[in-house]
Amino acid sequence: MSTVFDHHQRILEALSYIPPDCERDVWFRVAAALKNEEGEAAFETFDMWSKASPNYSAADTRDTWRSIRPDAGITIATLFAIAKRYGYNTRSKVGTVVDPKEVERRRVERDARVAQDAQQREVKRKHAASLALAIIEKAEPARDDHPYLLRKGVSAVDTLYEIDDTKLQKLIGYRPQCGGAHLEGRILIAPVTINGAITTVEMIDESGRKSALANGEKAGGCWFACALPEKSERILIAEGVATAL
C-alpha cells in the first residue's frame, strides 16, 4: 500500500523553525496559513507557538485569529515558504506515514469546515445588516453641536445620524469599544453601503473613539457624505467622516 507522510507533522516541523517573535505581518500570515489549512482546529497550534514569544498576549492572539477568514487566500504554502527562510528543508520527510485515504478524509473535513465557516459568516453579516438598519431607524439626524463635529470644525449632513449610547447598546446587545474603552454619549452613525445596500455602520462617540458594528461587512463599501446624483463626472474619495466633511 502506498503511503504519504503526515502533513500535520510537516506543518509542526516547519513551524518550529519560525521564531514566534517575528514581525507582526509574518506572525499574521502564519496564523492565516494555519487557519486556511486546518480551520479552527489549528488555533491550539498557533496559540502554543505564539506563547514562546516574550511579547505574547492571549487576547491579541485570540482576536487576531478570530479576525482571519479561512478562505482569505493565504495557504499553507506561505507557512512553508516562511519556514524555508529560517532554514527549514522543504524536502524533509520527518513524521509518521499516513494512508492516502486518511489524507483524503482530512481534506474533506477541511473543506467542510471552510464551507461551514463561510455559512456562519454570511449569517452574521446578514444579522449585522439588519442591526444597521434598526440603528438608523431609531437614530436621529446628526446635529451640528455634536462635540466631535465641533472639535473637527465641520457640520452635520443628511447622511449622518446620531444615537444615545444606552439606546445603541440595547439595540445591538453590547457596548462598542475602541482600544478597550467604551464609546460614550451621543454616538455618530455613518451607514456603510455596498452595491446599494446598507451592510453595517461606523460609530464615533463625542471623544472621537471609533468602532464598527460587530460582524458587519465593510470591504468594498463606503459612507456617502451626500446623496449621489444619477450622473456625476467627479467623485471625491476621503478616509474618515471628518475628512470627507
Task: Give 104-133 pLDDT, tens digit per residue.
Answer: 776 677 677 767 877 888 899 999 999 999
User: With the CA atoms of 88, 94, 95 and 100 taken in that order, what torsion angle do they form, in degrees rounded to the nearest 10?
Assistant: 100
Q: What percent of the chain has pLDDT over 90?
A: 48
Helix axes 43-50, 24-38, angle to 10 degrees: 150
User: Model's pTM, two decimal places?
Assistant: 0.62
Q: What is the pLDDT of residues 131-184, one digit of tens each?
A: 999 999 999 999 999 999 999 999 999 999 999 999 999 999 999 988 889 999
